[in-house]
Structure 1
Amino acid sequence: MAYQGKIQLIYVIVAPPDQADEGDRLFRSHGPWMEATHHRDGEKALLSYNVSKAPELSNPMDPDSAPTGNTCFILSEIYETDAGVADHFQMSESSWQDFPALVKWMEKCTVTGLPAAPIINSLW
């Protein structure tokens, strides 16, 4: 399914070695909460949800480069419209028990991302 024109929430979280286990714990909690709470159709629909994890590499353009010791967590959510992202953040704060822990964890990591970016290219 192509997602051009939909809205993507995406974060890359680089966790130092002592924070990787907490990232694993948080995302084990996050997935079931997302599945139980998010809309599947309409303007607030969550169309795609993915979390990936890999060692951070010393040269991100060379898959054979040495790992730094840090762990990268990549969170990607795609919504039908901005209304889905707004709904997501409202629900996160009000109903996900680990939201405060996520905020504290992210303060100990390096985070890059955007809460709502329109998708300009998409295939399949």
Structure 2
Amino acid sequence: MAHKGKIQLLITFVATPDKVAEVDRLVASHGAWMAEGHHRQGPKALLSYNFSKGPELKNPLDPASAPTGNTRYVLNEIYESPAGIADHWQQSQKSWRDFPAMAATLGSCNPQTLHGGVIAQSLW
């Protein structure tokens, strides 16, 4: 399903090897929490959810580059409208027990974010 014009929340960050086990635990917790309470229809609908991980590369523009030993994580959530992202942040602070741990961990992993980006191009 194409998502042109929909709203995206994107967070990417890099974890050092000593943080990977905790981040993996938080990713699992986040996925379970997302599945339980997010809207599936209407203006707050969560349309797509992906949390991926892979090696951080010494040259991020060269896929054949050697890994640094760190792990890059990418969270990509797509919502029907900005109301979905606002609802997500409100819910996360109220009902996700691991929100404080995730915020603290992400804060130590050089996060980069896109809050409420409008998807300019999308296929399928």
Question: TM-score, with normalisation over the residues of structure 2?
Answer: 0.97
- After TM superposition, the runs of 4+ consecutive aligned structure 1 residues lying more than 3 A away are none
Comparing 110-119 and 96-105, the one that deviates more? 110-119
Question: What is residue 28 of structure 2 aligned with on the other side?
Answer: 28
Secondary structure of the corresponding residue to residue 9 of structure 1: strand
**Shift in Å at residue 85 of structure 1?**
0.2
Secondary structure of the corresponding residue to residue 75 of structure 2: strand
Question: What is residue 53 of structure 2 aligned with on the other side?
Answer: 53
| Matches for 1:87-106 after TM superposition, within 5 Å | 87-106=87-106
Secondary structure of the corresponding residue to residue 101 of structure 2: helix
Question: TM-score, with normalisation over the residues of structure 1?
Answer: 0.97
Q: Distance in 1 between matches of 2:30 and 2:22?
A: 12
Q: Distance in 2 between matches of 1:32 and 1:14?
A: 22
CA RMSD of aligned residues (A): 0.7
**Shift in Å at residue 60 of structure 1?**
1.4
Q: Which amino acid aligns with 1:77?
A: E
Share of identical aligned residues, percent?
57
Aligned length: 124
Q: Distance in 1 between matches of 2:86 and 2:64?
A: 39
Quick check: 1:68 aligned with 2:68? yes
Show CA shifts across 1:42-66 (max 9, x none).
0000000001100100011222211
**Shift in Å at residue 77 of structure 1?**
0.2
Quick check: 1:108 aligned with 2:112? no
**Shift in Å at residue 115 of structure 1?**
1.7
Question: What is residue 3 of structure 1 aligned with on the other side?
Answer: 3
Q: Distance in 2 between matches of 1:52 and 1:30?
A: 12
Comparing 58-67 and 93-102, the one that deviates more? 58-67
